[in-house]
Chains A and B, each alone.
Chain A
Amino acid sequence: MGHAVPNTNTVSAVARLPGRLDLFVTGNPDDEDHAGIYTARSNPDGSWSGINHDWFRIGRDVHTVPVGNTVAAVAPRPNQIDLFVVGNDGGIYTARSNPAGNWGGVNHNWSRIGRDVHNVPMGNTVTAIAPGPNQIDLFVTGNPDDDDHAGIFTARSNPDGSWGGLNHNWFQIGHPVVHTVPVGNTVGAVARSPNQIDLFVVGNDGGIYTARSNPDGSWGGVNHNWSRIGRDVHNVPLSNTVTAIAPGPNQIDLFVTGNPDDDDHAGIFTARSNPDGSWGGLNHNWFQIGDPVVHTVPVGNTVAAVAPRPNQIDLFVVGNDGGIFTTRSNPDGNWGGASHNWFRIGRGDQNVPEGNTVTAVPRQPSEAGGAVDFTDWLEVDADRNLAKGTLHGAPVSLSGSDVGASSVTDQTFPWFAGPFFSPAVSMSDVLEIRGLPGFSYVLTFGSPVRDPILHLASLASRVDFPPGTVLSKVSGQETFQVVDSSVMGAVLSVGPPNDANGTVRLIGDFDSLSFSVTPLFDAAQGDGIWFQVGAAAAALAPPPAAPATDLLVVGHNGGIYHTSEQEGQPWASWARIGYKEFLVVHLKSLLQIDPPTAMTTFINTGFNRLAQLLSQFEIRVFRGTTEDLSGNSALAHLVNVDVGECNNGTTDEQDELFANRNRVGAGDLVVYFVQSTTPPFGGCATHPDGRPGAIVVQAATSVAPGASQWTLAHEVGHVLGLDHVDNTDRLMTPGNITNPPPDISADEVDTMLESDWTRGCSPDPSGW
């Protein structure tokens, strides 16, 4: 996806695991009428990464829906996501993730729920809730008996989670003629328990109506229990959506925009059920949150609500100027304070189209469970390929194909102190295990552990856990990846530790863990891997974690923006998920970088400066391979490379240097690090046709270290089409940058986006 969607779309999100969000949105229409369905997944730390921030399409080109439709998403279990959307024919379609939470299967598992006659108006939104791990209930307005009014229909999954039964269990709640609502309305639904579902919808008269399932979960009673909340004066515009949350089993809170004081602006109103779940009291408890005149929003806006903890409700809505506003209930769960606590999240220029809906999702942060301890490995029997140790006082053992004698049991292994491992351990025990085809291992815990984490260093193998095992990458290099139930390493010569390094968490409670280790390269001796396992100290009874709330909204430019808040911390800055363009840069050094030297630091710093700088302009820079060419005697003569005048054409030595594109993609850039150029330059960006890249001279100076850390970014700027400018605050100044970090102008951003070497979508307008 070009990381832009129609700018009035709504993003859906589920938080099925601590610290992880899955997003869904319809976008990137191939034609004016139909759009695909896209997803992105966050890292456990809440950040977004991966190619295109992991945005990818669910389904093939033929799986499109009407432009602007909203996808409903639920996660009945940590390893299952179910999507629901109205398709091009008005049918309701679903897709279920694979057991690892990924998408695959025939057509990415899209299938229709119901027969041809079970169609709804094409722009409708399905409401989905999962009251329990084996139950999903759907609600939708549809099948109008006349042009203006539609009934409310429901379907419930079978106990095994499948859809079947007569008409896939679709039936209407209420009388076919009497209990109708304006065509296109969306149903609000909450489940206070698996057998108690409450529905809310705006009726034909603008009143807000509710229906409650019977104690056995069925729908029945007089009028299927439909009744109105509030009196005749408590009407809202006919197409509004009621937002409902149930902070506890005896409380439901409703929120709706309505009762406009003028034609364009409406206040935000709430009602709370009585402690027994019924509705009563003065005006059925409806009242406005905020000042009747000041705190209004465009008519028809939808309020997002979350209840991250008892007695706290947070609301989010798009205001009259397109800003995103929030309010929080007081500790007693009521609303008060100055302006009823409404305030804006973000700067004044961070606006979205005025009718957009904010998506809010509460989640548990990934660090739930307290401090992590690691196994104290006590003995390693290399002859029997068996290691024994203790974790939290309980025995742990690892047996398998090759548990090496090089394992460390005296707490002196240093590599887990590095930046790729979380939590880092200054000194640790470690087991050396080996990967070869057919090699497998079993880790056995004397006492069950919850959400164990593995530190894996020097991984040039694929580690496969049983299908369905839910893995979550905690930290590590980009080349250290989780794919379904596997951890993928990489073959890299830079280190130590070389290859790929990182930490992965396994979600769930485990008595034992089995896994196989298969090298990603062809070597008879196999792949030596450093292995350590840990878990939170009181993992089976974690203390309550501070909840976090994530917000998502679509901006004017169709970009999808995210922010989050964790208890005790302010809202993070809004950041776009996905980039306009991306760029891949490989780094090859003719000076030694492995084992690490000052040159290694210089390269890392230079790359990080480039990546940080361009990320501000929504250009993602991916670090490709890093290669130490210092041992290649055939290239020794290029350590001081002749670059001529470095303005037109290339020299023979440049041609020879730039021919080294081992493991480099056709459109990728390579930056070569050399001792010097002749004549002396800090860097040079002239390159042979079709071999984009630049030369950067080693850290030039100890007296002016700030000057050279931007040279890589400056040279890449040239490669992307930028010329020098007469302004020392800018990246492309020919001289020293006087006010780092340097600036890049909007025109320069456009030039880079138009470069052949940045890839992705067409340039978007700047800003939201």
Chain B
Amino acid sequence: MAVSIEAVLAFLDQVEPQYGEAVRLGPDAVPHLRRLVQEEDPMRASKAAYLAGLIDGDESPAVLEQASQRDEPAVRVAAAYAAQHLTRAPPELFDRLLSDYDDGVRRTALKSIGVSRPSGLTAKVEELASGDEADHVRELARETARQLGS
């Protein structure tokens, strides 16, 4: 069933979106979300990125890739948080997020890695555990490294 942009915005333009209901829009909403993460409005882009991850459609990783390259840290944080819901998160997405200059993005990516346990990121996580400039990121990276079994 086709999903209209209006139906998507009806959820995303809420102050407190009901993501649990919005996810029922399904993969047909993802093309709209892909366009929305490129919009100027960072709040709408953040919500679109998160919903794309939550829907976990075929195009969702590409939406998060776009979101992870936005200038606004809040949008990249949303992408990092959404990545935990992707069944097949591209390693380069997490790698970029873990290398982000914003400590909030790195921290949120570590949280998602702790949930989804993607492979191939142990070395990067250990690097953060030993050398990240932010105390809270180093601390979380150590915990995440332990979860990853390193």
A residues with a Cβ closer than 8 A to B are: 633, 636-637, 639-640, 642, 645-646, 675-676, 678-684, 697-698, 700-704, 708, 711, 714-715, 734-736
A675–B77 CB distance below 8 A:
yes
In the complex formed, the residue of A with least CB distance to B16 is A681
Candidates A679, A682, A714; contact of B81 at CB < 8 Å:
A679
Give the top 10 A-B pairs by smallest Cβ distance, nearest first.
A700-B43, A637-B136, A680-B46, A676-B74, A682-B15, A678-B81, A701-B41, A640-B104, A734-B14, A640-B77
B43–A697 CB distance below 8 A:
yes
The winner among A676, A682, A734 for most chain B CB atoms within 10 A is A676
Provide the residues of chain B in CB contact with A675, threshold 8 Å: 73-74, 77, 104
- Smallest Cβ distance from A85 to chain B, in angstroms? 52
A698, B19: Cα distance in complex, Å? 20
A703, B140: Cα distance in complex, Å? 35
B8 at interface, CB cutoff 8 A = no
B16–A703 CB distance below 8 A:
no
B77–A676 CB distance below 8 A:
yes
A698–B74 CB distance below 8 A:
yes
B17 at interface, CB cutoff 8 A = yes
A681–B15 CB distance below 8 A:
yes
16 contacts between A and B (CB under 8 A): A636-B134, A645-B19, A676-B104, A678-B111, A679-B82, A680-B50, A680-B78, A681-B15, A682-B14, A682-B15, A682-B16, A683-B16, A700-B43, A701-B40, A708-B43, A735-B15
A726, B60: Cα distance in complex, Å? 31
A698, B75: Cα distance in complex, Å? 12
A714, B16: Cα distance in complex, Å? 10
Question: Contacts A633-B135, A701-B41, A701-B44; is A684 near B16 (CB within 8 Å)?
Answer: yes
A703–B74 CB distance below 8 A:
no
B41–A700 CB distance below 8 A:
yes
A676–B78 CB distance below 8 A:
yes
Within 8 A of A (CB), among B5-55: 10, 13-17, 19-20, 39-44, 46-47, 49-50
Within 8 A of A (CB), among B40-94: 40-44, 46-47, 49-50, 73-74, 77-78, 81-82
In the complex formed, the residue of A with least CB distance to B81 is A678
A734–B108 CB distance below 8 A:
no
Interface residues on chain B, size class: 20 to 34
In the complex formed, the residue of A with least CB distance to B82 is A679
Question: Contacts A678-B77, A678-B81; is A640 near B107 (CB within 8 Å)?
Answer: yes
In the complex formed, the residue of A with least CB distance to B112 is A678
Provide the residues of chain A in CB contact with B74, threshold 8 Å: 640, 675-676, 680, 697-698
Candidates A645, A676, A704; contact of B46 at CB < 8 Å:
A676
Provide the residues of chain B in CB contact with A702, threshold 8 Å: 40
Provide the residues of chain A in CB contact with B10, threshold 8 Å: 735
A402, B106: Cα distance in complex, Å? 51
A645–B81 CB distance below 8 A:
no
B136–A636 CB distance below 8 A:
yes
In the complex formed, the residue of B with least CB distance to A698 is B74
Question: Contacts A676-B78, A680-B46, A683-B15; is A640 near B108 (CB within 8 Å)?
Answer: yes
B126 at interface, CB cutoff 8 A = no
Provide the residues of chain A in CB contact with B108, threshold 8 Å: 640, 678
Candidates A640, A679, A703, A735; contact of B40 at CB < 8 Å:
A703
Candidates A633, A703, A714, A735; contact of B13 at CB < 8 Å:
A735
A715, B16: Cα distance in complex, Å? 10
The winner among A700, A701, A703 for most chain B CB atoms within 10 A is A700
B104–A639 CB distance below 8 A:
yes
B13–A736 CB distance below 8 A:
yes
- Smallest Cβ distance from A223 to chain B, in angstroms? 78
Provide the residues of chain A in CB contact with B17, threshold 8 Å: 680-681
A156, B130: Cα distance in complex, Å? 88
Within 8 A of A (CB), among B105-150: 107-108, 111, 134-136, 140
Candidates A633, A642, A703, A735; contact of B14 at CB < 8 Å:
A735
A704, B13: Cα distance in complex, Å? 11
A386, B2: Cα distance in complex, Å? 80
In the complex formed, the residue of A with least CB distance to B9 is A735
A708, B41: Cα distance in complex, Å? 11
- Smallest Cβ distance from A498 to chain B, in angstroms? 27
A288, B8: Cα distance in complex, Å? 71
A633, B133: Cα distance in complex, Å? 12
B78–A646 CB distance below 8 A:
no
A633, B138: Cα distance in complex, Å? 13
A704, B111: Cα distance in complex, Å? 31
Provide the residues of chain A in CB contact with B103, threshold 8 Å: 636
The winner among A645, A680, A735 for most chain B CB atoms within 10 A is A680
In the complex formed, the residue of B with least CB distance to A642 is B111
In the complex formed, the residue of B with least CB distance to A708 is B43
Provide the residues of chain B in CB contact with A708, threshold 8 Å: 43
A271, B97: Cα distance in complex, Å? 88
Candidates B20, B42, B104; contact of A701 at CB < 8 Å:
B42
Question: Contacts A734-B16, A735-B14; is A679 near B41 (CB within 8 Å)?
Answer: no
Provide the residues of chain B in CB contact with A735, threshold 8 Å: 10, 13-15
Provide the residues of chain A in CB contact with B140, threshold 8 Å: 637
A639, B104: Cα distance in complex, Å? 7
Provide the residues of chain B in CB contact with A698, threshold 8 Å: 74
A639, B105: Cα distance in complex, Å? 10
A636, B137: Cα distance in complex, Å? 10
Provide the residues of chain A in CB contact with B20, threshold 8 Å: 645
The winner among B10, B135, B136 for most chain A CB atoms within 10 A is B136
Provide the residues of chain B in CB contact with A633, threshold 8 Å: 135
